[in-house]
Structure 1
Amino acid sequence: MANKKFDVFVIGGGSAGQATAKTCAEAGLKVAITERRDYGGTCPLRGCDPKKALLAATEVLEFAKNMNGNGIVKLPRLLWSDMQKFKKKFTKPVPKAAEDSLKELGVITFSGAASFLSENTITVGDEVIQANKFVIATGLKPLALPIEGAEYLEESDDFLDLKKLPEHIVFVGGGYVGMEFAHMAARAGAKVTVIHSHERPLNSFDPDLVDMLVEYSKKIGIKFLFNAKVNKVKKGKKKFKVYYEQNEKTKHIKASMVFNTAGRVPAIDTLDLENAKVSFSEKGIEVNEYLQNTKNKNVYACGDVTDHGLPLTSMTGPEANTVSANIIAGNKTKVNTPVIPSVVYTLPNLTSVGLSEEEAKKRYKNVLVNYESATDWFNAKRINAPIYAYKVLINERTKAIVGAHIIGPHAGETINLFSLAIRKEMTIEDMKAIVFTYPSWGYDVNRML
Structure 2
Amino acid sequence: METKYYDVFIIGSGIAGQTVAKIAAKEGKSVAIADIREFGGTCANRGCDPKKILLQFADLVQKSRQLQGLGVEKLPKIDWQAVQKFKSTFTNPVPRATEENLKDFGIDLYHQSSKFITEKEIMVEGKKISADKFVIATGYVPRSLAIDGAKYLKTSDDILNLQKLPKSAVFLGSGYVGMEFCYMLSTLGCQVTMIDTNERPLSAFDGFLVEQITKRLSENGVKFIFNAKPLSVQQLKKNHRVTYEHNNKAKSVKARMVINSAGRVPAIQELDLEKGKIKFDDSGVLVNDFMQSLSNKNVYACGDVSSKSLPLTPLSGLQGYIVGQNIVTGNSKEFENPLVPSVVFTHPQLATVGYSEKEAKSRYKNVKVYKADISDWYNAEKENEKGYAYKILVNERTDQIVGAHLLSPQASETINILALAMNNKMTINEFKKQIFTYPSFTNDLKSMLKDDD
| 1:126 shift after superposition | 1.2
Residues 8 and 132 in structure 1, CA contact (< 8 A), matched pair in contact too: yes
Structure 2 length normalisation: TM-score?
0.97
Structural RMSD (CA): 1.1
1:252 counterpart residue number:
252
Give the Cα–Cα distance (whole angstroms) in 2 for the partners of residues 35 and 197 of structure 1. Answer: 34
Alpha-carbon shift at residue 2 of structure 1 (Å): 4.2
Shift of 1:437: 1.4
SS in 2 for 1:443: helix
Which amino acid in structure 2 is aligned with residue 39 of structure 1? F
Per-residue deviation, 1:420 = 1.3
Q: State whether residues 287 and 294 of structure 1, in contact with CA within 8 Å, keep that contact through their aligned partners in structure 2.
A: yes
**Alpha-carbon distance, 1:221 to partner:** 1.1
Name the SS of the counterpart of 2:65 in structure 1: helix
371-380 vs 20-29, greater mean Cα deviation: 371-380
> How far does residue 199 in structure 1 lie from its aligned partner after superposition?
1.1
Partner of 1:190: 190
Equivalent in the alignment of 2:103: 103
- 232-241 or 255-264: which moved more? 232-241
Aligned equivalents of 1:33, 1:2: Cα separation in 2: 19
Q: What amino acid is aligned across from residue 358 of structure 1 in structure 2? A: K
Please give the alpha-carbon distance, in whole angstroms, between the structure 2 residues aligned to 1:104 and 1:193. Answer: 48
CA offset at residue 376 of structure 1? 2.2
Distance in structure 2 (CA, Å) of the matches to 1:73 and 1:257: 32
Partner of 1:327: helix, strand, or coil? helix
**Match of residue 424 from structure 1:** 424
Alignment partner, residue 410 of structure 1? 410
Q: Is the 8 Å Cα contact of residues 115 and 124 (structure 1) preserved in structure 2?
A: yes
- Answer yes or no: is 1:112 the counterpart of 2:115: no
Question: Any residues of structure 2 matched to 1:181-260 within 5 Å, and which?
Answer: 181-260=181-260
Per-residue deviation at 1:387? 1.0
- 1:81 aligned partner: 81
Quick check: 219-228 or 422-431, which moved more?
422-431
Q: Which residue of 2 aligns with 1:5?
A: 5
Matches of residues 23-172 of structure 1 in structure 2 within 5 Å? 23-172=23-172
1:239-274 deviation per Cα after TM superposition (whole angstroms, max 9, x unaligned): 111111111111111111111000111000110111
How far, CA to CA, are the matches of 2:256 and 2:285 in structure 1?
37
Distance 2:347 2:321 in 1: 34
Q: Mean Cα displacement is larger for which, 189-198 or 235-244?
A: 235-244
- Amino acid paired to 2:298: N
SS in 1 for 2:442: coil
Q: Distance in 1 between matches of 2:294 and 2:429?
A: 44
Matched, 1:349 2:349: yes
Contact 1:80 1:188 in 2 (8 A): no
TM-score normalised by structure 1 residue count? 0.98
Q: Which amino acid aligns with 1:46?
A: R
What is the aligned partner in structure 1 of residue 358 from structure 2?
A: 358
Match of 1:17 in 2: 17
Distance 1:360 1:121 in 2: 46
> Residues 200-349 of structure 1 correspond to what in structure 2 (within 5 A)?
200-349=200-349
Alignment match, 1:446: 446
User: How far apart in 2 are the matches of 1:59 and 1:238?
Assistant: 29
**3-state SS of the aligned residue for 1:442?**
helix
Deviation at 1:233, TM superposition (A): 1.1
Cα distance in 2 between the residues matched to 1:392 and 1:282: 31
| C-alpha separation in 1, matches of 2:8 and 2:37 | 20
Q: Deviations over 1:148-177 (max 9, x none)?
A: 111111111011111111111001000000
Structure 1 unmatched runs, 5+ = none
Q: Which amino acid aligns with 2:244?
A: Y
Paired with 2:288 and 2:359, the residues of 1 have a C-alpha distance of 25
User: Following the alignment from structure 2 to structure 1, what is the Cα–Cα distance between the partners of residues 122 and 448?
Assistant: 54
Aligned-partner residue type, residue 330 of structure 1: G
State the AA in 1 paired with 2:106. G
Q: Which SS does the other structure have where 2:102 is aligned?
A: helix
Amino acid across the alignment from 1:431? F
Q: Which moved more, 1:380-389 or 1:166-175?
A: 380-389
Give the match for residue 385 of structure 1.
385
Tell me the distance in 2 between the aligned counterparts of 1:352 and 1:263.
19
Aligned residues: 449
Q: 1:2 to 1:302 in 2, by over 3 A?
A: farther
Deviations 1:11-38 (A, max 9, x none): 0011111111111111111100001110
Shift of 1:231: 1.3
Is the 2:303–2:309 contact (alpha carbons within 8 Å) kept by the matching residues of 1? no
Q: How many Å separate the matches in 1 of 2:200 and 2:87?
A: 31
Q: Distance in 2 between matches of 1:37 and 1:119?
A: 24
Q: Is the 8 A contact 2:110 2:125 kept in 1?
A: no
* Alignment partners' CA distance in 1, 2:80 and 2:200: 29
**1 CA distance for matches of 2:235 and 2:67?**
42
Query: Residues of 2 paired with 1:445 and 1:299: CA distance?
Result: 45
Gaps (5+ residues) in structure 2? Answer: none
Cα deviation 1:323-356 (Å, max 9, x = unaligned) = 0000000011001211111100001101111111
What amino acid does structure 1 have at the position aligned with 2:176? Y
Distance in 2 (CA, whole Å) between partners of 1:282 and 1:179 is 23
Q: For 1:286, give the aligned amino acid.
A: L
Distance in 2, matches of 1:119 and 1:294, equals: 13
Distance in 1, matches of 2:309 and 2:119, equals 26
* In structure 2, C-alpha distance between the alignment counterparts of 1:436 and 1:251, rounded to whole Å: 53
Match of 2:441, SS state, is coil
Any idea what SS the aligned residue of 1:390 has?
strand
Q: Distance in 2 between matches of 1:197 and 1:367?
A: 32
Q: How far 1:188 moved relative to its partner?
A: 1.4
Contact 2:309–2:316 (CA under 8 A) maintained in structure 1: no
The CA distance in 2 between the partners of 1:329 and 1:359, in whole Å, is: 37
One-letter amino acid matched to 1:120 = K
**CA apart distance, 1:238:** 2.1
CA distance in 2, matches of 1:70, 1:241: 41
